[in-house]
Amino acid sequence: MKAILAIAGVEVRRFLRDRSNIFFVFTFPLLLILLLGTQFGSSRAETRVSLTGGSGTALESIVTEQLEADGLQVESVTAQVMHEQLARGRADVGLVIRDEAAAAFDDGRRAELQILTASQASAQAALQEVRGSLGAISMRHSQLAALEQAGLPAEAAETAVAQAQEAFQPPRVEILDTDNTAQEFRGLGVFELGAVQQLLLFIFLSSLTGAATLIQARRYGVIPRTMSAPVSSGQTIAGQAVGRFGIASVQGAYILVGTALLFGVDWGNLWLTAMVLIAFSAVAAAAAMIIGSLLDHDGAATGIGIGAGLVLAGLGGCMVPPEFFAEPLQSISRLTPHRWAYDALAAIQRQDASFTDILPALGVLAAMAAILLMCGAWLLRRSLQRAL
């Protein structure tokens, strides 16, 4: 086992030493997720408001109560956190209560609040919701002031306004959404859909392009020198397989952690997500072994790896969500490991799926990995017998 892990460690280090891989493994995926989330990301069902300032004041309490009563999600944070949440799409609107505004409200004077909006398209609709809630507060206090100026005591004025609000039935607009696709994506954050797609795309793509290191190991005599030591051919093949799996795992773990920390992506149950990634990485590693064993030129392996990776990713829903596929393409996409992994991750992320729910997808991925791994091991054993 020590020999297998040593060979695998060498393969991972050789892959990471290539400076071009550093960009495509660590930088490009997060940049692409940021771009896709900013341009095409969907917003959550609830409007998210970050409230800063005025802690413990009557104005802060009334504003929070009104916003929550209107169905908005309110979070009291510091000014720095508010700006970070708006920049990263974690909040739609930022509301600033200055000390002067809180004092003016206590004195019955006009209080001015500062409103900031995020960059996503949904922020303008959220802004109107916040303005509507603040308008309701202003109207209520105007009504109370008018009643008190007419000679009604404060308590009686409060009772009269409350009774009037109970007696008045405001018009309701109910939107019935019969679009199953829209229901499927409801509640997703700005970056969550793109994060799942790019995670699967880059795991497979990096694994296939990493097949070039296997060809180089054969060409430069790394594998023959390894086998000259007390290491069997089976251990060598197993070490190469684990090395390909290590490359895929490094890519997947980095994107998973990076998107969670930088963009606030909610991956659901991390244990189930990790199981899906392990199964998918095994498929990617086995596919890389096949390419690295069939071809004898590392440049050709890189080109074929990129082409095959992009085609499979497109068919599997990593470029356009498979929910938009027509029926013939739906069936074709299920021939790819990407589609099974996508469905499993979507169920975990959107529906809080259990292990039993994703077990069929895990079974299919495990079967794909086993078949491809057996083919890759057989092809690698044969490739060791021919000269490059």
What pLDDT shows up at residue 27? 81
Strands 48-52 and 93-96: parallel
pLDDT at residue number 137: 83
What is the reported pLDDT for 108?
76
**Residues with pLDDT less than 50, the chain:** 42-44, 387
- Residue 195 pLDDT: 86
Angle of helix 233-263 relative to helix 192-209, nearest 10 degrees?
150
Cα-based distances in Å from 254 to 90, 202, 338? 21, 11, 18
CA-based nearest residue to 120, from 92, 82, 96: 92
Residue among 254, 231, 175 nearest 1 (CA):
231
Strands 73-76 and 93-96: unpaired
Instruction: For residues 366 and 338, give the distance between their C-alpha atoms in angstroms, rounded to a whole number.
Output: 13
Tokens of 328: 């013939």
Tell me, what DSSP letter sits at residue 150? T
What is the architecture of the domain spanning 48-168? Answer: 3-Layer(aba) Sandwich (3.40)
Cβ–Cβ contacts within 10 Å for residue 36, how many? 17
Q: What is the DSSP string of 318-340?
A: SSS-GGG--HHHHHHHTTSHHHH
- Write the secondary structure of 188-229 as one string of H (helix), E (strand) and C (coil): CCCCHHHHHHHHHHHHHHHHHHCHHHHHHHHHCCHHHHHHHC
Give residue-wise pLDDT tens across range 228-264.
667 666 676 677 778 778 878 888 888 899 888 888 8
Q: What is the DSSP string of 274-309?
A: HHHHHHHHHHHHHHHHHHHHH-S-HHHHHHHHHHHH
Structural domain boundaries in the chain: 2-41+189-383, 48-168
Please report the pLDDT score of residue 385 as a whole number. Answer: 63
pLDDT of residue 335: 93
Question: What's the pTM?
Answer: 0.66
| Residue 233 burial (CB count, 10 A) | 14
- Assign 3-state DSSP to the chain and report helix, strand, coil percentages, each to 5: 70, 5, 25
